[in-house]
Structure 1
């Protein structure tokens, strides 16, 4: 029997976010009607004007020119176009690429593929909170370095990198800077007029836009090779007719996000603090993975480890009670190995295996948070009652 979605407590927003009603209505309208900005008849002219308006709206959202945007069929397509497209166009003048070991797994797999084609890859060190020291870019770069790839926000442990400092160092050393902004757009103010990022990938669904669309910002003067060649408006870099419905819906989501941004940040920041304070006070032997709450951590993310119980057991137990969480990265098949992020930051195996991620969104309510906390604390208590490791720990503690 299916459970009504509106009765579920959804705390997995970094996997997927619900779409704004206004954006969905536009998506439906431009999907239903025959709009194509490539046509020269009156409906095509109308479509072109609508598209241009949407591009203006989205470009103001991140502080760039409409001509610097390329819309793709999804966030991974935007990332591949940015990284591999840059490599194919510029690899003759240098083979060296810098990145971090906690980038999203598909990015690391893509860079491994480029290594097989001759790229030389260096991993920037991270501390126990997943932070990259921007100075390491200067120290580890060589005359052959042409590209640095660094995520803005880590979706697993919430780390916010020092992107402005990193981008400025790259600019000084004439290194192109690619930023994976999948989990930054809509959550961190972005003004590309003030940050010298060369290439930035954005995922509209992370700020309640439609699924199945990605955005790549390409700073004027940066040259990349098409992956799927096209003749359309997308700078000839991405094949196919513009996806009018998704672009217009993404622009509407960006517009709404801009209007409610301050309110959203205050609300979600309050919820994050409320959850962690209650959990840390109610559950013994629980740790926060990644940075402490504050400027170095995404307010959307809490990754916690109540020791002696498995992460998947927590997720499944909560699911049975109508609470939806996640364990491990959201875009990688689940298995019994700890994630590459936890390995990179040196998290203990047992803590890594007991971790769960709570990710918040604009639709999250205080009532849901209160219900979640009661359910989750009860789940942890029950699972520990069945945990042999927990019983041994208590027995040893009592005998001391």
Structure 2
């Protein structure tokens, strides 16, 4: 098998060996249902409690405020739908941004059909939320502000501490989709005045199918799944014990290694960005140049189609993406890239590379060399590029 350079860690990550090792006994040895009363079940219940504590520690939360879900999309749905239902007697207005993950945007579209009023605020050319516009969007009917901590496509970090302070000042609940940020950057729910936070295990070298919603104590949110008393009567269904164990170990590992791991990712990230900018003409870095996720590199290349670039990179053993894995297969340009002001023809030529702690500068050299050759090849077949060059040479 040819060597694979995996640069799609925003889509999913490789499960860490210690995570797999920790999970295995809960499939075959400690398989009891945590809701049962015998000793075998007690072992599972203890494991769930420990997993909850480990996940909570990453964001400085009370473990009792962590509710396990099937992943980030469920957590986002729960936060928005349950808040609207619980607080619509107070108001029906929700504020979010134009660059949220579709788990937020599509939920907002659904809520609009139920009578909610949604304001989608703008971002600047780097993808940073306009705080003045956020302030002006607030009305007496506003019950929730939902802004992601870090964008999944362009990697831009949002000023969630400032947003949380604005929400708190106006007595509005604040939710953040922290699926990409959890374990990658420091987040403290109290310091940032966060009332709800979404996270997912498979973004931090944990298993798929497990995530959480942090719900601050005192929020009157309904059960999202009915049928049992699990998760303190807020999410029915037998707990995914192996998943929770793995999620906990992955969270503990992410917190322990965060400083050293992200420093390495930033070094390789910046090396790759500089190399692309120096060696490939007519490209644009998308996202904030410094205020971005440690592992995110996102470029648009003029005069090419991103899909062709991805296919040819795959043939070279490089796994990458053009944006969110949840919209792969769509022919429409990224809503995030359009929101930061890119025209359709440039947005179509985008490439997202998301590194891991295992990505080396040697990997970066090989990847940039391949991108450079592929871009040159694709442009050589482009009539638009040919016309452009003729005008440049006049």
TM class, shorter-length? over 0.9
Partner residue, 2:280: 283
| 8 Å Cα contact 1:152-1:163 kept in structure 2 | yes
The structure 1 residue matched to 2:9, chosen from 9, 13, 29, is 13
Partner of 2:327, secondary structure, is: coil
- Shift of the 303–253 alpha-carbon distance from structure 1 to 2, 3 Å rule, reads same
Equivalent residues in 2 for 1:56-205, closer than 5 Å: 56-205=53-202
| Counterparts of 1:242 and 1:328, CA distance in 2 | 32
Pairs aligned (count): 393
Deviation of residue 268 (structure 1)? 0.4
| Counterparts of 2:50 and 2:287, CA distance in 1 | 40
1:141-178 deviations in Å (ceiling 9; x for gaps):
11111011111111111111100000111011010111
| Counterparts of 1:366 and 1:341, CA distance in 2 | 28
| Counterparts of 1:352 and 1:165, CA distance in 2 | 30
| 8 Å Cα contact 1:87-1:224 kept in structure 2 | no
Is 1:327 equivalent to 2:354 in the alignment?
no
Partner residue, 1:340: 335
Deviation of residue 182 (structure 1)? 0.9
Equivalent residues in 2 for 1:204-283, closer than 5 Å: 204-283=201-280
The structure 2 residue matched to 1:367, chosen from 362, 366, 382, is 362
| 8 Å Cα contact 2:77-2:103 kept in structure 1 | no
| 8 Å Cα contact 1:9-1:324 kept in structure 2 | yes
Scaled by the length of structure 1, what TM-score is found?
Answer: 0.95
The structure 2 residue matched to 1:28, chosen from 24, 27, 50, is 24
Partner of 1:147, secondary structure, is: strand
1:250-296 deviations in Å (ceiling 9; x for gaps):
1100111122111111110011111111111111111111211x1x2
Query: Which shows bigger deviation, 80-89 or 171-180?
Result: 80-89
Partner of 1:92, secondary structure, is: coil
| Counterparts of 1:109 and 1:46, CA distance in 2 | 39
| 8 Å Cα contact 1:131-1:160 kept in structure 2 | yes
The structure 2 residue matched to 1:355, chosen from 342, 350, 357, is 350
Misfit runs of 4+, over 3 Å: 230-233
Partner of 2:300, secondary structure, is: strand
1:79-134 deviations in Å (ceiling 9; x for gaps):
11111111111112111111111111231111111111110111222112221123
| 8 Å Cα contact 2:230-2:237 kept in structure 1 | no
| 8 Å Cα contact 2:71-2:201 kept in structure 1 | no
Deviation of residue 344 (structure 1)? 1.7
| 8 Å Cα contact 2:189-2:195 kept in structure 1 | no
| Counterparts of 1:93 and 1:178, CA distance in 2 | 17
Partner of 2:332, secondary structure, is: coil
| 8 Å Cα contact 1:75-1:212 kept in structure 2 | no
Deviation of residue 230 (structure 1)? 4.4
The structure 2 residue matched to 1:50, chosen from 47, 52, 66, is 47
- Shift of the 322–333 alpha-carbon distance from structure 1 to 2, 3 Å rule, reads closer
1:291-340 deviations in Å (ceiling 9; x for gaps):
11x1x211221111121111111111111111111113221142332121
Deviation of residue 219 (structure 1)? 0.5
| Counterparts of 2:349 and 2:59, CA distance in 1 | 37
Deviation of residue 235 (structure 1)? 2.1
Query: Which shows bigger deviation, 54-63 or 275-284?
Result: 54-63
1:359-384 deviations in Å (ceiling 9; x for gaps):
11223233322221222222122222
Scaled by the length of structure 2, what TM-score is found?
Answer: 0.96
Is 1:301 equivalent to 2:290 in the alignment?
no
